[in-house]
Amino acid sequence: MARIIFPALLLLLFPRAAWALQTHGYQGLYFHQGAHLLFLAAMVAFAYRLRVSRLTVQTSWRWLFRGALLISLWNLWAFIGHLVALTLPQNALVTKPGETVPSLHVVSWVDVAYYFLSMDHLLSVPALVCFYLGLREMHRTFPQRDLLRERRRHERRRVDRRLV
C-alpha cells in the first residue's frame, strides 16, 4: 500500500499536466460492447430466474424464457460480430463498377465469420417472436377488467359480511 500512496503524494509535490480532461479513443465501442455484456447477463439471469422459480411450466413464461435465451445468444453473436468487424481489413468491402451493393472480399475465416455474424437478425427476430407469443398468451389468460371488478366486489362483500 505504501508503494502506491507514497508516489501519489510525491505527484502532488511535482505537478505536471493536469490530465483533468482525458479523451477516450474507443469509448463508444467499449460502452456499446459493455452494454451488450450487461444485456446478455441480465437476460441470462432472467431466464435462470424463470427456470428455478418453475414459472416455465406456464406457456406464457415458457415463451418468454425462450425469448430471453435467444436474445442472450443474439448479444453474444453481436458482441463477437463487433470484435470481428474490428479485425476486418480496410479493403475487404469492394463495390464493383455498375453495382450498388458492395461485396466482401473473402480471403480468410475472419471474412467468412463477419459475413455470417452480420446477419444477426436471424436471432433477434425469433427472440421477439417468442416475446410476442408469451405476451399474447399472458394477454389471453390475464383476467378481464370486468372479472377483476367482480372479484373485488365479491371480496369486499365477504369482508363486509364478516364485519357485520
Partner 1 sequence: MTWSLLPIWLVDLVGAIVMVVLSGLCLHLARDIYHRDPEHPLANYLLWLSGAIFAFSLSRSVGHIVRHILELAGLGSWWKTLEPISGSINSITFVVIASVTLFFHRMQTIMNRMARDRQRIEKTSQELLRLNRDMETIVADRTRTEMALRIAHEVRNPALIIGGLVKRIARTIEECAANQEYFQKVLEEARRLEALVEKFETVRPGQQLHFSPQELNGLVEETLEIVQPEADDKGLVLLLDRSPASLAFQGNQHLIKMAILHVLRNAIEACRRGDTIQVATDFAPRGIMVRIKDNGPGIPGEVLEHVFEPFYSTKKGETGLGLSHVKQIIEEHLGNVEIASRPEEGTEVVITLPTHLGELEVQTGDTADAPG
Figure out which of the listed residues 26, 45, 89, 157 binds partner 1, where binding follows CB under 8 A: 45
Shortest Å distance, C-beta 132 to partner 1: 5
Q: Cα torsion for 106, 37, 129, 133, to the nearest 10°?
A: 160
83: contact with partner 1 by CB under 8 A: no
* Interatomic CA distance for residues 75 and 23, integer angstroms: 28
Our CB check for partner 1 shows the closer of 87 and 136 to be 136
Sequence-distant (6+) residues with CB within 8 A of 92 are 104, 105, 111, 114
143: contact with partner 1 by CB under 8 A: yes
Q: Cα torsion for 145, 149, 151, 155, to the nearest 10°?
A: 150
Tell me if 44 sits within 8 A of 75, measured CB to CB: no
Considering only 1-9, 16-24, 83-91, 98-106, which stretch makes contact with partner 1 by CB under 8 A? 98-106
Shortest Å distance, C-beta 29 to partner 1: 8
Figure out which of the listed residues 7, 144, 160, 163 binds partner 1, where binding follows CB under 8 A: 144
Could you write out the DSSP letters of every residue in 33-65?
Answer: HHHHHHHHHHHHHHHHHHHHTTGGGSHHHHHHH
Residues in the site for partner 1, rule: CB under 8 A?
A: 28, 31-32, 35-36, 38-39, 41-43, 45-46, 49, 53, 68, 93-94, 96, 100-107, 115, 118-119, 121-122, 124-125, 128-129, 131-132, 135-136, 138-139, 142-145, 148, 158, 162
